[in-house]
Chains A and B, each alone.
Chain A
Amino acid sequence: MTWVVVDVMLKPEISDPQGQAVLGALNRLGHRGVEGVRQGKRFELEVSDPIDESAIRQIADTLLANSVIEDFSVHIETR
C-alpha cells in the first residue's frame, strides 16, 4: 500500500498562536530546552499506483493548503 503524506505548515511570517501556547505549556512543564514550536497539519492519502505526483501537488496546493498562509511538502511512504 502506498501512502502519500502531505505536511502543511503556516508560512514562517504568519504567527502561530497555537504553537506559542504549546511552547508556554512546555515551559510550565520545565522543558527549558525547547525555544520554539510551530503547529501544522499532516494528511495521509492512500493512493493507487502509479502515483501521479503532479495531481498530488495540485490537491495539496488547491485544497489541503491555503497558499495565502500555508506551505506544504509531499513525501511518499510505503507500508
Chain B
Amino acid sequence: MTDRLAQVRIGVVTFPGSLDDGDASRAVRLAGGIPVALWHGTHDLDGVDAVILPGGFSYGDYLRAGAIASLSPIMREVIDAARQGVPVLGICNGFQVLCESGLLPGALTRNAHLHFRNRDQLLRVEARTAWTSEFAESAEIVIPVKNGEGRYVANTETLDAVEAEGRVLARYLGGNPNGSSRDIAGVTDRTGRIVGLMPHPEHAVEELTGPSTDGLRFFTSILASLVGAGAGTGSGAGSA
C-alpha cells in the first residue's frame, strides 16, 4: 500500500496569480503522493490521477474571481477529465474556478462585511467524499480561512437540493467568516469526486506552520481513495 501511495500523481495547476500552488504540492508530498506541476496555458494533464486547483488570484480575479481561469486551456482538460471521474479539489480561488466552470453549484461573492478575512477557522466536515474519506463522521477541524470573496451563495432551490443530497462538504462553526449561505464552507458534486472548499487545508499540514495538521487528511484521503480505486499502478487516469 505504501509503495502504491508513493506512485499516486496529483496535478497542481498554476495560473498566473496562483499563490498556494507551492503549499498544495507540499501537502501532497507530505501525505505521501507525487505532486505534478500543471500549467494553465497548456492542454496537458500529464496523466495525473487527480487535480488540485489552488488558492490565489488567478488572472488577477478580473471580471469575477475564477471567471477567466475557468476558460483557460488547462481547464478545458480538467473539466473533461472531471466529467470522466478524475477527482478534482478546488481550494479558495480553485473553488471559485469550479463554480465558474459549472462543475459545482452556486457562486462565491464579496464577503458580506466587505473585509478580507484571515483567521484560523473551526469547521465541521459533513460530506463523505474522495477527498474527506479519512475524516471521522462530523469531524470538527481547524484550518486557516483567508478570502475577500468567499461568501457562498446560490438560489434557495439549489441550497435546499445541496443540503438534501448531503453535498455540504463542510460548514463554518464558531462564526461565519464571510456571510456564506447556511454557513457553507464547501460543497461536493453528486459523485463525491469534484469538491470545492473555501478554507485552506494545505496550510494546516505541519505543526510548525499550521494551527493544526487537520488539513493533511484531505490529501491522505484522496491518496487512499485513488489507491483503493486502482491508481498508482502507473496507468494514470485522465491521460487526455
B105-123 interface code vs A (CB 8 A; 1 in, 0 out): 1110111111000000000
**Which residues of B sit under 8 angstroms from A63, Cβ to Cβ?**
63, 67, 71
Contacts A66-B100, A69-B109, A69-B153; is A21 near B114 (CB within 8 Å)?
Answer: yes
Taking a contact as CB atoms closer than 8 A, the residue among B107, B110, B179 that contacts A18 in the complex is B110
**Is B155 engaged at the interface, CB distance under 8 Å to the other chain?**
yes
Taking a contact as CB atoms closer than 8 A, the residue among A17, A64, A69 that contacts B112 in the complex is A17
- The residue among B109, B114, B156, B179 with the most chain A CB atoms within 10 A of its own CB is B109
- Whether A14 pairs with B109 at a CB distance below 8 angstroms is yes
Number of interface residues of A (CB under 8 A): 12
Q: Is the interface of B mostly helix, strand, loop or mixed?
A: loop
Q: B169-213: which have CB < 8 Å to A?
A: 179
Contacts A63-B67, A68-B106, A69-B107; is A14 near B114 (CB within 8 Å)?
Answer: no
Contacts A63-B71, A68-B154, A69-B153; is A17 near B107 (CB within 8 Å)?
Answer: no
**Which residues of B sit under 8 angstroms from A69, Cβ to Cβ?**
107, 109, 153
**Is B29 engaged at the interface, CB distance under 8 Å to the other chain?**
no
21 pairs, CB–CB < 8 Å, chain A vs chain B? A14-B109, A14-B153, A15-B179, A17-B111, A17-B112, A17-B113, A17-B114, A17-B179, A18-B110, A18-B114, A21-B114, A63-B63, A63-B71, A64-B63, A66-B67, A66-B100, A66-B107, A68-B99, A68-B106, A68-B154, A69-B107
